[in-house]
Structure 1
């Protein structure tokens, strides 16, 4: 494999609220907040940051291994991942635990309220890269997971010389300023949405621009407003790729990250890797759940050309079945 994905492995319980949260919350009464939402849809889906990212990387025809901890209820999920061709040998079962579960409720504006039960994920810090045959890893992503595990995985990547992407995500709230800075220092890329990076700036004093002092690239996702990629060479604004329909935003950020990883592996420009990431995310939002979107190599390339006016077949040798050399360093 060439990519190691660490992060949560979870079941998602996705609910649709056909209204707007803002209409049900009184700002002057938030100190006694007590609200209930009648939802119109409920689906149980495969989810988790690690598995979501790995799934979209698999669609982009990149070999991926997942490292994480799961509960005794994970057997069917593992079998499905293996059917997709995703390496699961570094996924460890914690017999007395349930797999982590996420409960996500989305309103008509795409705003989300999430509850997360960590379950077996709380044991992820027990895993070490050295426990598994992962010697051919070219790039790793440390995605939201048990906070202690994230810190340990960063240290191991640094110790073994594996380039890594640091994606603190929702765990930015639970990681200390010192732990965040440990992740930023030497990262190939730091990625987060604008809200998360705002929290990080408040906690560490490091703005996205200042993070370039310790990391090579910073990626800011902004939902419907697209994304921003900042490097030493400048700032690039990336538009969203047009969607045929917007069904569910859940998991779009993870699909986006798969595109960024693809771009880093093959040395694409920030603009091109951002556009690849944007299209990967768009495929996700057109379906319910985080691992229900599908496309072929030719479909992806055709739609990319339609959206951005650029032919990327030459930039996707792996998608076209041609030999290619990884250029990441």
Structure 2
């Protein structure tokens, strides 16, 4: 399945605060809030939603195509993505600007206060899917990006008759209700977390029932409570995989999406897709940064069986891995 990942491509600046944000928030002073946190550490990591998803998909045997815009400081990042199996030919460098940057401060409860500088991502609105030169893709993932670009890709997918997964995530607060509604209506799949699902309903005027009736696949992640999938008139509850330890929550939702989508590519049932997403999320949660986790497909299957029991469908994942290795050699 030829899959295009659109969305942000960024550097993540991750900081840790050795306390609790809630202890420094005065509820009756929220209209004049002014806070500064002295952090213990800061690291720069490779990030961005499109590339985070593509990274974990590559670990699971796919060669996803990332479609987006970056700055002149991207070359080292490109080399890394290529080394793990991500197709970067459709990542366009914009001269004279920096790659987008994400700044996240995490407290002891794994709550985060974040900011995002779009940088070169702003130019994604000028990068059309019609420039894809390798036929019509099988699937497009529309994840957080420049709002104009997201709306453009929705319309282009509809015009091309391409199935797309709509993943507005953080951009729920920036994209207009009309644009969100266009993204939802016509999507093959919708990915949101629990809070984003409430905001989506508020901004579009659509009820949860209306969304689930119009979108064939709706996936709502619930953090430590796992996820719920609405598809084919049914509800599938996915148990979270308990991590060995918690290092950093950044990118966990992206890893979940990658695991789920890889299962979908392989034709697995919805429950198995969700469980693959949950396991991929746990791997990410155990490492600092959204692209620091690693595993072989054999290790992934073994851990899957430890958490969810044996599943003959996972043989497809291993066979796909073996076949890909043979093709590459």
Normalised by the length of structure 2, the TM-score is: 0.95
Q: In 2, Cα distance between the equivalents of 1:136 and 1:158?
A: 12
**1:287, 1:183 → 2: CA distance?**
32
Distance 2:314 2:177 in 1: 42
**CA-CA distance at 1:15 after TM superposition:** 0.5
Give 1:237 shift.
1.1
Aligned mates of 1:277, 1:313 — CA distance in 2: 13
Moved more, 193-202 or 133-142: 133-142
Query: What secondary structure does 1:316 align onto?
Result: helix
The CA deviation at 1:317 is 4.7
- Structure 2: give runs of 5+ residues left out of the alignment: 325-329
Is 314-323 or 55-64 further displaced after alignment? 314-323
My pick for the range that moved more, 178-187 or 275-284, is 178-187
Whole-Å separation in 1 of the counterparts to 2:197 and 2:204: 10
Q: Is the 8 A contact 1:142 1:167 kept in 2?
A: yes
Residue 84 (structure 1) aligns with: 84
Note the aligned Cα RMSD (angstroms). 1.4
2-structure distance, mates of 1:303, 1:49: 25
User: Do 1:61 and 1:318's aligned partners in 2 also have CA atoms closer than 8 Å?
Assistant: no
Matched, 1:217 2:243: no
Are 2:257 and 1:257 equivalent residues in the alignment? Answer: yes
Cα distance, 1:318 vs. partner? Answer: 4.8
Q: Does residue 289 of structure 1 match 2:289?
A: yes
Which stretches of structure 1, 4 residues or longer, exceed 6 Å deviation after superposition?
none
> Residues 138-160 of structure 1, C-alpha deviation per residue, up to 9 Å, x if partnerless?
21100000000001111111111
User: In the alignment, what sits opposite 1:321?
Assistant: 322
Write the distance in 2 (CA, Å) between the matches of 1:116 and 1:72.
18
Report the structure, 1 or 2, having the larger helix content. 2
| Shift in alpha-carbon separation, 1:159–1:317, aligned structure 2, 3 A | farther
Shift of 1:301: 0.3
Structure 1 residue 198 and structure 2 residue 185: aligned? no
Residue 242 of structure 2 contacts residue 282 of structure 2 at CA under 8 Å; is this kept in 1? yes
The whole-number CA distance in structure 2 between the counterparts of 1:41 and 1:216 is 43
Q: Contact between 1:60 and 1:319, CA under 8 Å: does it hold in 2?
A: no
In 1, are the aligned partners of 2:6 and 2:68 still within 8 Å (CA)? yes
In structure 1, the partner of 2:327 is none
CA distance in 2, matches of 1:108, 1:5: 32
Structure 2 Cα separation of the partners of residues 262 and 290 of structure 1: 17
Q: Map of 1:221-300 to 2, 5 A cutoff?
A: 221-300=221-300
**Displacement, 1:231?**
1.5
Q: Is the 8 A contact 1:47 1:291 kept in 2?
A: yes
- Counterparts of 1:313 and 1:230, CA distance in 2: 22
Name 2:117's counterpart in structure 1: 117
Name the residue aligned to 1:174.
174
Partner of 1:314: helix, strand, or coil? helix
SS in 2 for 1:13: strand
Number of corresponding residues: 323
Measured in 2, the distance between the counterparts of 1:66 and 1:296 equals: 22
Pick closer, same or farther for the CA change 1:318–1:6 going to 2, 3 Å.
farther
- Provide, for residues 206-242 of structure 1, a one-character-per-residue CA deviation record: whole Å limited to 9, x for no partner: 2333212321111101111111101233111111112
Query: Cα offset for 1:136?
Result: 5.4
